[in-house]
Amino acid sequence: MTKPTCVYFIGSGPGDPELITLKGKRLLEEADVVVYAGSLVKEKTLKHCRRGIEIHNSASMTLDEIMKVIVNAAKRGEKVVRLHSGDPTIYSALKEQTGILEEESIPYKIVPGISSALASAAALKEELTMPEISQTVIFTRIEGKTPVPKSERLSELSKHQATMCIFLSIRLIEKVVAELKEGYPEDTPAAVVYKATWDDEKIIRGSLKDIVRKVKEAKIKRQAMIIVGKTLSSDITHHASRLYARNFEHGYRNKKG
């Protein structure tokens, strides 16, 4: 019997095919079978694959169907790549897939990717952490069909007033903002990035006061990241990090002047 090959779960990044890692690209080039998350993985990313290989779009498949393709191919000794959007460890239903591979004694590895939260911050040209403003980033979502533990409700998390990246929630933007207002002041900056790094990327900036209206006007209903927090305001450059300050000493540099 052929020994099953190692299955690779790869983060394809936020969309731009150049934002996959070198390792992810190499594995795609070598793959015999690719199953990709078609709703958010850009088809252009598949141009890294060899011609004529077996490619499946998981958007229209059930977990059983996806795993049948992956397990059978690995058992045949073929190189299988499961391509997720962003990073595969964030909202990717990873464990339900790896759990089945473990039951089948099929080895697997995970190759990280650039999460859309980070690509959205880059699109906004913003820094998520700033001294004295916020040193914490929360990745979260609002409760929808998927339940969220009570202690992690947006209304609870907002009490920290940390920077927050909210996935999978744009459809419920009104509810999101209502909950956020329980902890953040109303003038807290808020931004929405639709399809970060795609050709039709859109950026909306505002505050908790007006972001709902702006999102509705732009008719954004999916594939968007909501980022909230004081680090997004433009008037805080005087809080610049001390890391590069002349009088700040650290392990790699002595104080200057």
Chain Cα centroid distance, residue 197? 12
Contact letters (x/-) for ligand SAH, 185-214, by CB under 6 A?
A: --------x-xxxx----------------
Give the whole-angstrom CA distance, residue 153 versus residue 16.
32
- Other C-beta atoms lying within 10 Å of the C-beta of residue 114: 21
Tokens of 78: 């073929």
Radius of gyration of the chain (CA): 21
When asked if residue 111 is in the footprint of ligand SAH (CB under 6 A), the reply is no
166 has which bridge partners?
A: 140, 226
Residues 126 to 185 in contact with ligand SAH, rule: CB under 6 A: 167-168
Residue 153, φ and ψ in degrees, nearest 5: -55, 145
221 vs 239, beta carbon nearer ligand SAH: 221
Among 162, 224, 227, 232, binds ligand SAH (CB under 6 A): 224
**Euclidean distance between CA atoms 51 and 29, whole angstroms:** 10
Find the binder of ligand SAH among 80, 101, 177, 225 (CB under 6 A): 225
Interatomic CA distance for residues 121 and 190, integer angstroms: 12
| Closest to ligand SAH by CB, 74 or 90 | 90
Q: Least distance from C-beta 14 to ligand SAH, angstroms?
A: 4
Q: Point out which span in 24-32, 83-91, 204-212, 228-236 binds ligand SAH (CB under 6 A).
A: 83-91
Q: How far apart are CA 187 and CA 12, in angstroms?
A: 35
Least distance from C-beta 223 to ligand SAH, angstroms? Answer: 5
Residues near ligand SAH (CB under 6 A) are: 14-15, 40, 84-87, 90-92, 115-116, 120, 167-168, 193, 195-198, 223-225
